[in-house]
């Protein structure tokens, strides 16, 4: 992004973007000059945040309706999470898994109990959790199911998003994620999301697992048909195939339940967790499963220097304790119904469709009203932070701690942005 002109009022314009202050422009230009251009953020520079609100370098406040892709489910600067982090900072932050730490045991025990499983593999980022699950599923296929060596296959979904490592983008169908990054990792079969028949037909003797998001986030909050997850569970159990649910965005309260699978009455073999598990304080992710699955890992066969570090474990434990209380899930469920009702009223008035669950929504914009990014820029001018995806879809995922009045304001400002 390059500066076009300094206005008389001290604001600066950038090509294709609204005018911003000189302070904002300088901060953006510094990033553009020295950071790789792998993101196209909105022209706002956040300096401070609390709860559901952020403040930029000019002192202007915005309602955060993205929550760092669900990482900030419990709000910015959540007092309980900051207290847990501060206390652990004074003790020890990293030992590596070469030694035990006092913080790790309570975290993995509590998380396993929350998920109703035996074991936890702690990692750092969501992509690491996915990569770890791929390795576990393959090793399980060879050691437990009896698949021939190096022949294991994992079924994935069209429109999937599980991260951006080389192996993960190998089974993406998004050209932005794949162009220029080949050769790709083999061993994946892609089927339409929401089509249980296609999934069943794709299963063969070498199938190790089915990997899916219960709701596809990056695809635009793509919700499968009712009963689909139950059908996947029935098929995978019958065919002796692992069901791996990537709940990195959909889990930990976002959709009005601890996991989106809970809303469908489904228990997968493996949960993949991340984002909100670190409370927006530190990166924390996990693979959670029973010992008959995670037990295939042995010393030296997998690891991470920072995985399960004491600071991450302390914060993660407090996240689990908050979820054990159930208040966050109930709040997301109640406010989510309010959000979905308000957005649904906009259909036919600049909106062509609304999808979602809990405090998570994908809103398709009528092209005659502009692109989704156009709408996000209008929202920005009105003090709302949201994010576009795939051209015509706006994603909303406000922190669960958002006030009812602020949620109502979000809907009003969304309607106003469409009238722009």
Burial label, 2 (beta-carbon count in 10 A; 0-12, 13-18, 19+): exposed
As a whole number of angstroms, the distance between CA 188 and CA 210 comes to 10
Catalytic, 145? Answer: no
CA 11 vs CA 7, 14, 17, 21, 307: distances in Å: 5, 10, 12, 4, 44
Catalytic, 275? Answer: yes
Q: Which of 74, 171, 193, 246 is catalytic?
A: 246
Q: Which of 161, 171, 306, 414 is catalytic?
A: 161
Burial label, 232 (beta-carbon count in 10 A; 0-12, 13-18, 19+): buried
Catalytic, 388? Answer: no
* Angle of CA points 283, 285, 291, to nearest 5°: 155
Q: Which of 56, 171, 275, 387 is catalytic?
A: 275
CB 397 within 8 A of CB 67: yes
The single-letter DSSP state of residue 243 is E
CA 108 vs CA 28, 33, 134, 206, 273: distances in Å: 40, 42, 20, 31, 13
User: Within a 10 A sphere around the Cβ of 420, how many other Cβ atoms?
Assistant: 14
In 10-91, where does DSSP find H-type helix? Answer: 22-34, 67-70, 79-89
As a whole number of angstroms, the distance between CA 8 and CA 159 comes to 46
CB 407 within 8 A of CB 335: yes
Query: Nearest Cα to 359, choosing from 126, 66, 160?
Result: 66
* Angle of CA points 314, 251, 332, to nearest 5°: 100
As a whole number of angstroms, the distance between CA 193 and CA 315 comes to 34
As a whole number of angstroms, the distance between CA 355 and CA 217 comes to 11
Q: List, by residue number, the catalytic residues.
A: 161, 246, 275
């Amino acid at each position: 992004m390059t500066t076009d002109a300094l206005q008389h009022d001290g604001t600066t314009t950038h090509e294709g973007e609204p005018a911003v202050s000189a302070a904002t422009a300088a901060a953006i230009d510094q990033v553009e000059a020295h950071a790789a251009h792998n993101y196209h953020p909105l022209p706002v520079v956040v300096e401070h945040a609390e709860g559901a609100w952020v403040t930029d370098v000019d002192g202007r406040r915005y309602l955060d309706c993205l929550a760092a892709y669900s990482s900030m489910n419990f709000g910015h600067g959540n007092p309980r999470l900051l207290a847990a982090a501060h206390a652990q900072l004074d003790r020890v932050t990293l030992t590596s898994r070469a030694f035990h730490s006092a913080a790790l045991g309570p975290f993995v025990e509590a998380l396993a109990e929350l998920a109703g499983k035996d074991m936890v593999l702690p990692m750092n980022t969501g992509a690491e959790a996915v990569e770890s699950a791929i390795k576990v599923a393959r090793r399980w296929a060879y050691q437990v199911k009896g698949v021939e060596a190096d022949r294991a296959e994992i079924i994935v979904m069209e429109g999937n998003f599980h991260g951006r490592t080389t192996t993960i983008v190998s089974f993406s169908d998004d050209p932005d994620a794949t162009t220029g990054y080949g050769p790709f990792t083999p061993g994946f079969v892609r089927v339409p999301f929401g089509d249980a028949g296609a999934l069943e037909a794709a299963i063969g003797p070498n199938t190790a697992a089915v990997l899916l998001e219960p709701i596809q986030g990056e695809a635009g909050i793509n919700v499968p048909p009712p009963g689909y997850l139950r059908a996947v569970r029935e098929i995978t159990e019958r065919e002796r195939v692992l069901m791996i649910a990537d709940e990195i965005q959909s889990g930990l309260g976002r959709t009005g339940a601890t996991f989106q699978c809970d809303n469908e009455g489904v228990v997968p073999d493996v949960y993949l967790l991340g984002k909100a598990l670190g409370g927006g304080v530190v990166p924390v992710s996990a693979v959670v499963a029973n010992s008959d699955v995670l037990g295939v890992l042995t010393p030296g066969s997998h690891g991470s220097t920072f995985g399960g570090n004491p600071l991450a474990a302390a914060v993660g434990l407090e996240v689990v304790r908050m979820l054990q209380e159930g208040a966050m899930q109930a709040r997301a469920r109640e406010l989510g119904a309010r959000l979905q009702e308000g957005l649904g009223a906009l259909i036919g008035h600049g909106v062509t469709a609304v999808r979602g669950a809990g405090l998570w929504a994908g809103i398709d914009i009528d092209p005659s009203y502009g692109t989704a990014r156009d709408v996000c820029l209008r929202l920005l001018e009105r003090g709302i932070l949201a994010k576009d995806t795939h051209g015509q879809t706006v994603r909303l995922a406000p922190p669960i701690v958002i006030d009812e009045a602020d949620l109502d304001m979000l809907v009003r400002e969304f309607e106003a942005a469409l009238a722009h």
